[in-house]
Amino acid sequence: MKNLLYNILILVSLALMVVGIQSCSDELPDVGDVEVSFSATIPVSTMRSFGTAEKINTLVVGVFRKSVSDEHTDNVNYNEIYRKSFPIDGCSADVQLTLPQNQTYSFVFWAYDCNLNVYNIDDMTAIKMEFGKEVNGIYPSVSIQQMESMDAFYATIEDCAIAGNRNYSVELVRPLAQVNVGTAGTPMRASFTAKLAPNTFHPFTNTVSGSTNLNWTFSETTAETFWADNKQYNYLAMCYLFAPVSSTTIATELSLTNGVNSKTVEFPQVEIGANQRSNIAGSFTEME
């Protein structure tokens, strides 16, 4: 009889615990989803021969949650939980996301030409430049017009608390330096090498890293020109490079050929900065 009473008491206690647990669960609020929208714009300078962002057609938005990897350090991990792509109309895109509310998110916005494999965005916290690298001993052959597909823009929003439907305005900026190489003489076939250039961009910290040689062989000449120091120059080469906000210098090299003669010109200190234009100009096509 005592064992029976003891077992009955245990069953009653377990039943009360279940009721208590169910009661606590019922008191939790329904989080629900909300619509979060962004009006993203790309400001375009009209002062450049290139750089009008006309090749940019896609905006990718990555949604992240932050976590601290070590409470005794400032190391922060950005964990991507969702991403979505949107078409760009002119220089703007309308972004619509459905997210659970009462959460805090961080966002990366990356606008680029999705038709050319210039950037590896598998990890949107460390975007890598792939275009210009050696593949099986061969560097890419391009036209100067095609190099416009290297242009890209970005923006970030951190620690955004989502508590209801809301619209945000986002203005993207260029994390790249535009490098123009021109001659006062007749244009000719050229290849251009950026030596030990940064090849990775970190949007959340707005920093660059990596060091690699990037090279492009220009398959044809062009009638495009640019101005430097109040003088007009014929394009020989053009590229975009990841660059820090505070300018740095890299070494570059220009190789020229007119089909008969060829020569190489080195530029040991070319200054590059994010959203800045660097011009290398002179009478480079004069053959001795």
Read off the pLDDT band of 288 (50, 70, 90).
Answer: low
Extract the tokens encoding 5. 């009473």
Domain boundaries, the chain: 29-113+151-174, 130-150+175-288
Higher local confidence (pLDDT), 211 or 19: 211
Q: Using one digit for the tens of pLDDT, what is the confidence trace for 263-276? A: 999 999 999 999 99
Read off the pLDDT band of 136 (50, 70, 90).
Answer: confident
Task: Give the predicted TM-score (pTM) of the model.
Answer: 0.85
Give residue 97's pLDDT: 96
What's the maximum distance between 2 C-alpha atoms anywhere in the chain? Answer: 115
Give residue 31's pLDDT: 60
Class of domain 29-113+151-174: mainly beta
Q: Using one digit for the tens of pLDDT, what is the confidence trace for 164-209? A: 888 999 999 999 999 999 999 999 999 999 999 999 999 999 999 9
Give residue 25's pLDDT: 35
Read off the pLDDT band of 49 (50, 70, 90).
Answer: low
For residues 244-248, give the mean pLDDT. Answer: 95
Extract the tokens encoding 223. 């009638």
For residues 46-69, give the mean pLDDT. Answer: 80
Q: Is the pLDDT of residue 133 over 90?
A: no
Give residue 189's pLDDT: 94
Separation CA 90–CA 238 (nearest Å): 23
Higher local confidence (pLDDT), 191 or 91: 191
Give residue 93's pLDDT: 95
Q: Which residues of 86-104 are buried (b: 16+ CB within 10 A; e: fewer)?
A: bebeebebebebeeebeee
Extract the tokens encoding 50. 């290139």
Q: How do beta strands 225-228 and 277-282 pair?
A: unpaired
